[in-house]
Chain A
Amino acid sequence: MKKKDNENRIVSPWYLTAGPEVDVAASSRVRIARNLAGVDFPTRLSTEEKKALGDRIVSKFLAAPGIDPKDWVDVRLIDMDEPGCLSLVEKRLISPELLQNRETARVLIRRDESASLMMGEEDHVRIQAMVPGYDLKRAYDEAESLAKILEAELPVAFTEELGFLTACPTNVGTGLRVSVQLHLPALVMTRELKVLAEALQKGGLAVRGDHGESSAAAGHMFQISNQCTLGVSPQTTLQELGAVVDQLIERERAAREALVRHSRLALEDRVWRSLALLQNARSLSEQEAVRLLSDLRLGYALGWLDKEDLSWELICRLWAEVGPGSVQRREGEILEPQRRDYKRAEIVRDLFAAERGKE
Chain B
Amino acid sequence: MKCTRCHKNEASIEYKSIINGRSRQENLCLDCARELGLNFGAGGIGPSWGPLAGMFGNLYDQNWGQMWLPGSLSPDQREVCPHCGMTWREFRNGGRLGCADCYEAFADQLKGLYARVQRGAKYDGRRPANSPSSAATVADEIAELRAAQALAVKNEDYEQAAQLRDRIKALSEEGGVKKNEEKR
A123's nearest neighbour on chain B, judged by CB, is B96
In the assembled complex, which residues on chain A have CB atoms less than 8 Å from the CB atom of B158? none
Total contacting residues, chain B, CB less than 8 A: 36
Task: State the Cβ distance, B173 to closest chain A Cβ, in Å.
Answer: 17
Please tell me the size bucket of the interface on A: 35 or more
The minimal Cβ–Cβ distance linking A152 to chain B, given in whole angstroms, is 5
Query: Do B84 and A152 have beta carbons less than 8 Å apart?
Result: no
Q: Which residues of B contact A236 (CB under 8 A)?
A: 124
The segment from A4-12, A68-76, A155-163, A331-339 found at the interface with B is: A155-163
Task: Specify which chain A residues have a CB less than 8 angstroms from the CB of B155 in the assembled complex.
Answer: none
What CA separation (Å) do A43 and B98 show in the bound complex? 6
B114, A44: Cβ atoms closer than 8 Å: no
Indicate if B135 sits at the interface (CB-CB under 8 A).
yes
Question: What is the minimal beta-carbon distance from A162 to any residue of chain B, in angstroms?
Answer: 5
Interface assignment of A167: CB less than 8 Å from any CB of chain B: yes
Dominant SS among interface residues on chain A:
loop
Structural contact, A158 and B131, CB atoms closer than 8 A: yes
CB of B128 within 8 A of CB of A158, answer yes
Chain A residues in 8 Å Cβ range of B99: 40-41, 44
Q: Is the CB of B97 within 8 A of A232?
A: no
Q: How far is the CA of A167 from the CA of B84 in the complex (A)?
A: 13
On chain B, the residues within 8 Å of A204 by CB distance are 119
Please indicate which of the listed interface residues B129, B132, B176 has the most CB atoms of chain A within 10 Å of its own CB: B129
A174 within 8 A of B: yes
Question: Are A231 and B97 touching (Cβ within 8 A)?
Answer: no
What 1/0 flags go to B82-110 for Cβ under 8 Å of A? 01101000000011111110110000001
- Cβ–Cβ < 8 Å partners of A44 in chain B: 84, 86, 98-99
What is the CB-to-nearest-CB distance from A42 to chain B, in angstroms, rounded to a whole number? 8
| Contact status of A167 and B128, CB under 8 A, knowing A160-B180, A227-B117 | no
Q: Which residue of A lies closest to B102 (CB)?
A: A41
Minimum Cβ distance to chain B for residue A240 (Å): 10
The residues of B that contact A159 with a CB separation of less than 8 Å are 103, 123
| Contacts A/B (CB < 8 Å), 9 sampled | A37-B100, A41-B96, A155-B128, A160-B180, A163-B123, A165-B103, A169-B103, A231-B114, A234-B126
A residues touching B (Cβ–Cβ < 8 Å)?
A: 35, 37, 40-44, 122, 147-149, 151-153, 155-165, 167-170, 172-174, 204, 227-234, 236
8 extra interchain contacts, Cβ-Cβ under 8 A, other than A163-B123, A173-B123, A231-B119? Answer: A41-B96, A151-B128, A158-B127, A158-B128, A163-B125, A168-B97, A231-B121, A232-B120
